[in-house]
Amino acid sequence: MPNSDPLRAAEAALTAPGAPFEVVRAEDGSPLYAGGPRTLREFVEAVWAYGDQAFLVAESGTYTYGEFFAAASALARRFVEEYGLAPGDRAVIAMRNHPEWQVAFWGAQLAGLVAVPLNAWWTEAEFAYALDDCTPRVVLVDGERLARVEAWLAGRWGAQRDGQEGRPERPRVVVFHGGGGKWGEAYEGIRAADPLLGPPDVDVRAEDDATIIYTSGTTGRPKGAVATHLAQAGAATHPRFHAALSALGRGQVPGQGSAPVSLMTFPFFHVAAFTALYSVMAAGGTLVLMRKWDAAQALALIREHKVTHYAGVPATALQLLDAAEAAGDELASLTMLNTGGAAAPAELVGRLTARYGERIEPRNGYGLTETSGGVLANFGAAYRACPGSVGRPAPGVEVRIAGPQGQPLPEGEGEGEGEVGELWLRGQSLIRGYWNDPDATSQAFADGGWFRTGDLATVRDGRVSIVDRIKDMVIRGGENVYCVEVESVLHDHPDVLDAAVLGVPHPVLGEEVAAVVQLRPGATAGADELRAHVGKHLAAFKVPAHLLVRDEPLPRNATGKVLKRELRTTAGLLVSGG
């Protein structure tokens, strides 16, 4: 494979004894970075040195690193000195990508609180579920979501006094970009931060909980994934390693050159955003924020701020490339296009390379809420050579392809594919478990700290390829059909903008393959043409027996994952002739 040996040699140099990414073994045998930060407080305190460099750029204004750290420190002192909050108390963050989201999150970390980012797209009922589950002592919310939080407060404390009838003390509420309402105070009314004062004197330990991040809930009720400070510090180290390895692969010295300017399109509450955020912060780079995704505006922001890095789900990356091609925009400042949060179709890297050559480095990867973000990465020449892979693990992560009894399955070498099995992971950035859910925790983890991802995968020459989700795999008459494989072929058709494949019941075969496809504007391909296209590339049993062509976008959650539960109703209509 091109560049495989040089990258292996570079990785060995970066992880050698005394090197920046040296790895040791924890008590359970899992990998652990020998150096680097041990807490998020330690990680964020280092960025104070970046001073007047721009950190957060948005419509509402810009924060330099110095201004950001002063504001986060002031909020942390307020938590401790005025609110009486203590390490371990939960701090909910419920807002869109305002710059103040980061002030709130890092203020919580500097105070030793457990930050609980909530999905900003959730309904009132979903908010209530998570708020009841994590029992916060403070809620940090923007004006757009205040009504959802107030409805929860009114339902729990509206007719009762704090502390009566066994009720806990009502949480404090701080409202950003809006008045304080009935229950809280406006952040804008809090006294200005003193840049000469640092954070409060709070002892934050590596083993303390740092975050509770709720799973996307595409298959049921969200679970609160709990990560310690040590885990999040590991998550902050993974992208630094991959950035260093990428630089060496391009013949550059890691850490030299201009700091990155990244267009952030991930919602801050999603773990993919943390991976991009940590990478930018560690290098003293700039995050350019968008109120909502719009491809034309993204092009304008890239030109205005000379953006070097794009970070987003594959769907928005493809839309960006479409918009750039239509506008004749060469994306002159862009040097990296990074996708995550969902599987990237192979066409993405092909289109990028065909138009821009090797000037813009492609990067994708793999991570979960339970891994605290990205743990595998594929980039550069290796990604172009193997576009279906999600790459190699960071040094602080170990991979196993497990058989039905948990036994390790062999990986492939050269042209030989490895056996398909469940992807298991372990390492520093893995969560310690699910909040107040020991049963779910025990089901998710095997002996030795191994986390069962629920994804089917193979490994060849150390590179992982995701085959499918175990629960989403279609078993047609005893034959396994991996949805990702069929989706990839559908994406290769020039008329297809988006596609999702799933199983529908069949009285004899058990399941049949169904697909829902969104066409590009003006495209005319029909179901028969698309089935024929799949049949040219895959076995007949993998060709969708039912295929629905539609103009409207596929339903996705805030992280970019297709909501196949919703699509099953649509696909079911095909079976009955609808």
The answer to the question of residue 255 being in a domain is yes
Q: b/e per residue, 486-520, with b = 16+ CB within 10 A?
A: bbbbbbbbebbbbbbbbbbeeeebebbbbbbbbbe
Domain check: are 16 and 49 in the same one? no
The answer to the question of residue 92 being in a domain is yes
Mean pLDDT score, 321-328: 94
Q: How far apart are CA 415 and CA 386, in angstroms?
A: 12
The answer to the question of residue 315 being in a domain is yes
Domain check: are 249 and 155 in the same one? no
Q: How many CB atoms lie within 10 A of CB 186?
A: 15
Span of 37-41, 332-336, 570-574 with lowest mean pLDDT: 570-574
**Amino acid identity for residue 96 in this structure:** R
Domain check: are 33 and 61 in the same one? no
pLDDT band at 537 (very low <50, low <70, confident <90, very high): confident
Q: Which domain holds residue 172?
A: 40-204
Nearest one of 175, 172, 207 to 81, comparing CA atoms: 172
Mean pLDDT score, 383-402: 94
The answer to the question of residue 251 being in a domain is yes
Helix axes 314-327, 295-305, angle to 10 degrees: 80
- Residue 252 contacts residue 59 (beta carbons within 8 Å): no
What would the pLDDT profile of 356-371 be if each residue is shown by its tens digit?
A: 999 999 999 999 999 9
What would the pLDDT profile of 232-257 be if each residue is shown by its tens digit?
A: 999 999 999 999 999 998 888 888 88
Of 444, 469, 494, the residue that ends a domain is 469
Mean pLDDT score, 182-186: 93
- Residue 260 contacts residue 284 (beta carbons within 8 Å): no
Percent of the chain whose pLDDT exceeds 90: 71
CATH code where residue 512 lies: 3.30.300.30
Domain check: are 460 and 494 in the same one? no
Higher per-residue confidence, 142 vs 504: 142
Domain check: are 19 and 53 in the same one? no
Domain check: are 449 and 494 in the same one? no
- Note the helical H segments in 410-563: 438-444, 483-492, 527-537
Domain check: are 44 and 32 in the same one? no
**Both tokens of residue 348?**
């993405």
The answer to the question of residue 213 being in a domain is no
The answer to the question of residue 222 being in a domain is no
Residue with tokens 């993919």: 272
Residue with tokens 């990244």: 262
Return the pLDDT at 159: 66
Domain check: are 30 and 44 in the same one? no
Q: What is the pTM of this model?
A: 0.85
Check pLDDT > 50 for residue 2.
Answer: no
Distances (CA, A) of 384 to 19, 117, 349, 380: 29, 35, 6, 6
What would the pLDDT profile of 291-320 be if each residue is shown by its tens digit?
A: 889 999 999 999 999 999 999 988 889 889
pLDDT band at 342 (very low <50, low <70, confident <90, very high): confident
Domain check: are 286 and 169 in the same one? no
pLDDT band at 185 (very low <50, low <70, confident <90, very high): very high
Domain check: are 108 and 255 in the same one? no
Return the pLDDT at 205: 97
Grouping H, G, I as helix, E, B as strand and the rest as coil, residue 154 is: helix
Return the pLDDT at 558: 63
Of 469, 504, 521, the residue that ends a domain is 469
Burial degree of 539 (CB within 10 A; 0-12, 13-18, 19+): exposed
CATH code where residue 408 lies: 3.40.50.12780
Check pLDDT > 50 for residue 87.
Answer: yes
**Counted domains in the chain:** 3
Domain check: are 508 and 451 in the same one? no
Residue with tokens 């009502």: 170
Of 469, 486, 519, the residue that ends a domain is 469
Span of 31-45, 299-313, 528-542 with lowest mean pLDDT: 528-542
pLDDT band at 90 (very low <50, low <70, confident <90, very high): very high
Helix axes 271-282, 229-249, angle to 10 degrees: 60
Return the pLDDT at 480: 73
Provide the phi-psi class of 310: left if phi over 0, else alpha when psi is between -120 and 50, else beta.
beta
The answer to the question of residue 454 being in a domain is yes
Strand order of the β-sheet with 209-214 is 185-186, 172-176, 138-142, 90-94, 114-117, 209-214, 224-228, 433-434
Burial degree of 572 (CB within 10 A; 0-12, 13-18, 19+): middle
* Tally: H helices and E strands in the chain: 16, 29
- Non-local (6+) Cβ contacts of 294 within 8 A are none
Going through 259-396 in order, the beta strands assigned E by DSSP cover 261-264, 286-289, 309-312, 336-339, 361-368, 373-379, 392-393
Following CA atoms 496, 499, 505, 507 in sequence, which dihedral angle do they give, to the nearest 10 degrees? 30
Mean pLDDT score, 272-290: 96
The answer to the question of residue 353 being in a domain is yes
Nearest one of 282, 283, 263 to 273, comparing CA atoms: 263
Q: How far apart are CA 521 and CA 464, in angstroms?
A: 34
Domain check: are 258 and 342 in the same one? yes
Which residues sit opposite 391 in a β-bridge?
464
Nearest one of 569, 574, 575, 512 to 549, comparing CA atoms: 574
pLDDT band at 578 (very low <50, low <70, confident <90, very high): very low
CATH code where residue 107 lies: 3.40.50.980
Mean pLDDT score, 251-277: 91
Q: What is the mean pLDDT of the chain?
A: 90
Return the pLDDT at 221: 73
- Non-local (6+) Cβ contacts of 284 within 8 A are 47, 50, 53, 65, 259
Check pLDDT > 50 for residue 1.
Answer: no
Return the pLDDT at 218: 47
pLDDT band at 261 (very low <50, low <70, confident <90, very high): very high
